[in-house]
Amino acid sequence: MANRAQHGWWRSAAPSHPTTVFLLLWLLGSLLLAFVLIPLLVLAGTPSLSGLIDAARMPDVRDSILLSLEAACLSAILTALFGVPLAYVLARTRFVGRGIISAIVDLPLAVPHTVAGIALLMVFGRQGILGEPLQALAGLKFWGTLAGVVVAMMFVSAPYTVNAARVGFEGVDLQLEKIARTLGLGPWRTFWKITLPLARRGIFTGMMLTFARSISEFGAVVILVYYPKTAPVEIYELFLRVNLQQAVAAAVLLLAVSLGLFVLLRFVAHNPDLRESR
Amino acid sequence: MTNIAIEGLSLSLGTFALDNVEVALDGGQILVVLGPNGSGKSVLLETIAGFHRPDAGRILIRGIDVTRLPPERRRVAFVVQNFGLFPHLTVEQNVRLALGPHAKDKRSGVLSPLAGDAAALLSYFGVSHLAARTPGRLSPGEKQRVALARALAANPDLFLFDEPFSALDSQTREQLRDDLLSLLRRICLPAIFVTHDHTDALTLADRVLVLRHGKTVQVGTADDVYRRPSDAFVARFSGVENILTGRTGAAQGNRLPVAVGDIVLQAVKPSSPPGAEVQVCIRAEEVRLHDARSAQDSEWRENRFTASVANIRRMGAVVRVELEGPCRLACCLLTPQLQEMRLERGSSVEVSIAAEALHLIPA
């Protein structure tokens, strides 16, 4: 009887527990799943197809979605550029204050995003301690520009890349790096040929999370930049100034685009050809 | 000519330390470093490979002092538990990655036609058919062969093995050990093999170095370590079951009497002063049991006494019999012998031990 459970579509990973326990766990878990899925399904089912097409034809909506994608992409890439080296250091060295450094990495997760936006404004704003000199010296402006959007997105989403890449690096067997060295590879070649490829799933997952978090950012972006409008800002504006109907249509469009990308990236990440086999 | 020389190597590294370790090794020789966990044997290997800088001492490979060279310039091959193949590369890519600047250097013997040629290396080890596979699905035996092919691609002067078999079941272990031994014999490069398994040591070693707390306790042939352990630690570690405390008497001829428990046993005379406290090592298989028929054999008159069976532990092919009598002894029999003798708990049995089987260690 216990065997039947092992052969059917249902497999218990912990055979020590009776099936009734799992039924209870499933009941609780499915409530949470429903709680996540129902609002999204209701939202997706609300606008008519023609409403969606109309929304897609609105230049403001289209531009805002494209801007969101572009800025989130840049945010993910820049975060990886600066975050992956930090992740490697945190994964591979032991030093005094390492705990504090990892706490700083996680800090943006605990800062409310409007607070983050105001803090960023004081630094990157028109009179900010970096914003003013950077504009004077390099002509780099963070208000009303793509650069500002990217900065706001990076601040709130960087922890995901650093943490996931760190887990990725921690999962690389030190013995493999040692073997690479004895086979004649110097420290740099060992990093590029062995460590980085083996940690790439972690790095990629982190970049995906940063990308997704960047797309969804509203609070910090709206305070630091406002214009040009990202998709969440545009949706908020439609909701406030126009009507719920148009806000819903724009929201469904953004949802479709970001979910589509999410599924595509997950597919790429889980493709066995691109994944190391254990 | 000495190929590998380690001179006065000392190092302290957290809880691990090495203290004045000396090794000399010729081409084609296998040195087994035997020690329990925490004895520093892996640290020794990693220091030779170049991952720790010693506090004192030198490491010479083919007469060249490599003590201050980084690992990639030492030309040592490092083989670890599960063989450490790179999981993201195919078998062939694993080997190609190791074809570095030294790959095409001239080599001697069977290795000369293999220089710089990944395909030739794979076929030499009989794993050409696996070239396009990733290591994940290889059997342990295949992994070992690929790891050796890869190691040789870099043209090493010394092989280092860090318990490569420790995650394997005993049957696979035995096969891989045999395979490794015959391959190493053909390749004819010196090798240092670190293990805590004394069977590894007995089967592979030309010489054994026993390490404890980073100090060399004994160096010798596998037979030396097995039969003539230098102290009680080595004796216990190499599986001597009977380590008894005794006191020597005055030597008579080439025999030295040793009082153990309530009996005086005869040992072959060593250079031990009379009245000295010693530890007497007797391997369980050297304790012979006799039934009534063989009791008359004059051959087994030495160290003969009667004991009773206190316990019988069956372990498959062999049986461990614990004896009580003038002294407590464990004895090892083949299972059919036990059946022939009809021994059971409480039976009385004649015991004899050859004088040569007593190994004395000064206490």
Q: What is the pLDDT of residue B355?
A: 87
Question: Are A149 and A177 in the same domain?
Answer: yes
At A29-79, the pLDDT tens digits run 999 999 999 999 999 888 888 888 888 888 889 999 999 999 999 999 999
Q: Is the pLDDT score of A1 beyond 70?
A: no
DSSP state of B256: E
Radius of gyration of chain B (CA): 25
pLDDT value at position B108? Answer: 66
Within a domain: A226:
yes
Last residue of a domain, one of A7, A24, A45: A45
The ipTM is 0.83
CA A55 – CA A236 distance, rounded (Å): 14
Q: Is A176 on the interface with B (CB under 8 A)?
A: yes
Helices (H), B118-259: 118-124, 140-153, 170-187, 198-204, 222-227, 232-237
Enclosing H/E stretch for B130 = none
Q: Are residues A27 and A143 located together in one domain of the fold?
A: no
In a domain, A3, yes or no: no
A5, part of any domain: no
Instruction: Go through B110-129 and write b for each residue having 16 or more CB atoms within 10 A of its CB, e for each that does not.
Output: ebeebbebbeebbebbebee
- For residue A100, the SS3 value is helix
Q: Do A101 and A177 reside in the same domain of the chain? A: yes
Residues 6+ apart with CB under 8 A from B240: B229, B281, B282, B283, B359
CB atoms within 10 A of CB A11: 9
Please give the Cα distance from A103 to A168 (Å, whole number).
18
Task: Classify domain B240-362 at the CATH class level.
Answer: mainly beta
Contact A183, B98 (CB under 8 A): yes
So what's the pLDDT on residue B137? Answer: 87
Helix axes A131-138, A113-124, angle to 10 degrees: 50
Q: Do A24 and A98 fall within a single domain?
A: no
Judge if A117 and A209 occupy the same domain.
yes
Put simply, the answer to whether B98 touches A183 (Cβ < 8 Å) is yes
CATH 2.40.110.10 given to domain B4-236? no
Instruction: Assess whether A72 and A140 both reside in one domain.
Output: yes
- The Cα–Cα gap between B88 and A274 comes to 9
Q: Tell which B residues from 19 to 58 touch A, by Cβ distance under 8 Å.
A: 46, 49-51
| Residue B338: predicted pLDDT | 85
The single-letter DSSP state of residue B31 is E
Structure tokens at A50: 């023609």
Which structure tokens are listed for B353? Answer: 């031990």
pLDDT of residue A2: 44
Quick one: A22 and A128 in the same domain? Answer: no
Query: A22 with A90, same domain?
Result: no
Range of the domain at A163: 50-274
C-alpha distance from A177 to closest chain B C-alpha (Å):
9
The amino acid at B177:
R
The pLDDT of residue B293 is 61
**Does residue A7 form part of some domain?**
no
SS3 assignment for B276-342? CEEEEEECHHHEEEECCHHHHCHHHCCCEEEEEEEEEEEECCEEEEEEECCCCEEEEEEHHHHHHHC
Q: Could you read off the pLDDT of A181-229 as tens digits, one per residue?
A: 999 999 999 999 999 999 998 999 899 999 999 999 999 999 998 888 9
A74 is a domain residue: yes
Check if B84 contacts A (Cβ < 8 Å). Answer: yes
pLDDT digits (tens, 9 = 90+) for B6-46: 999 999 988 888 999 998 888 889 999 999 888 889 999 99
- Which residues 6+ apart lie within 8 Å of B316 measured at CB? B335
CB pairs under 8 A between A and B: 71
pLDDT for B277: 87
Task: Report domain extents, chain B.
Answer: 4-236, 240-362
Asked if B225 has any chain A CB less than 8 Å from its own CB, the reply is no
CB contact under 8 A, B136 and A277: yes
Average pLDDT, chain A: 88
Q: Do A24 and A161 belong together in one domain?
A: no
Residue A195 included in any domain:
yes
**Which residues of chain B lie closer than 8 angstroms to A277, CB-CB?**
87, 134, 136-137
Q: Would you list the DSSP string of A233-260?
A: HHHHHHHHHS-HHHHHHHHHHHHHHHHH
A155 and A58 belong to one structural domain: yes
Q: What is the pLDDT of residues A73-128, one digit of tens each?
A: 999 999 999 999 999 999 998 888 899 999 999 999 999 999 999 999 999 988 88
Chain centre to alpha carbon of residue B279: 23
Q: Which long-range contacts (CB under 8 A, 24 or more apart) does B313-320 make?
A: B320/B241, B320/B284
Phi, psi for residue A128 in degrees, rounded to 5: -70, 160
Tell me the nearest-neighbour CA distance from B154 into chain A, angstroms.
6
Rounded Cα–Cα distance for residues B314 and B308 (Å): 17
Structural domains of chain A, count: 2
What pLDDT score was predicted for residue B44? 93
Give a yes or no: residue A248 inside a domain. yes
Is residue A76 included in any domain, yes or no?
yes
| A173 min Cα distance to partner chain B (Å) | 9
Distance CA(B284)–CA(B236), nearest Å, equals 12
Instruction: Give the closest-approach CA distance of B287 to chain A in angstroms.
Output: 45
Same domain, A209 and A232: yes
Kindly give the parts of chain B with pLDDT less than 70. Answer: 1-2, 103-104, 106-110, 270-273, 292-300
Phi, psi of B22 (to 5 degrees): -120, 135
pLDDT cut 90: percent of chain A above it? 59
Which helix (H) or strand (E) is B5 found in, with range?
A: strand B4-13
Backbone dihedral region for residue B210 (phi beyond 0: left; psi -120 to 50: alpha; all else: beta)? beta
Beta strands B158-162; B191-195: pairing state: parallel
Q: Between B78, B136, B137, which is nearest A182 by CB? A: B78
The pLDDT value given to residue B296? 62
Tell me how far apart the alpha carbons of residues B325 and B331 are, in angstroms, rounded to a whole number.
13
pLDDT at site A11: 65
**CB nearest to B134's CB, from A175, A187, A277:** A277
Say whether both A39 and A86 belong to one domain. Answer: no
Per-residue model confidence (pLDDT) at position A277: 40
pLDDT at residue A157, as a whole number: 94
Chain B residues whose beta carbon lies within 8 Å of the beta carbon of residue A203:
none
For the whole prediction, is pTM greater than 0.90? Answer: no
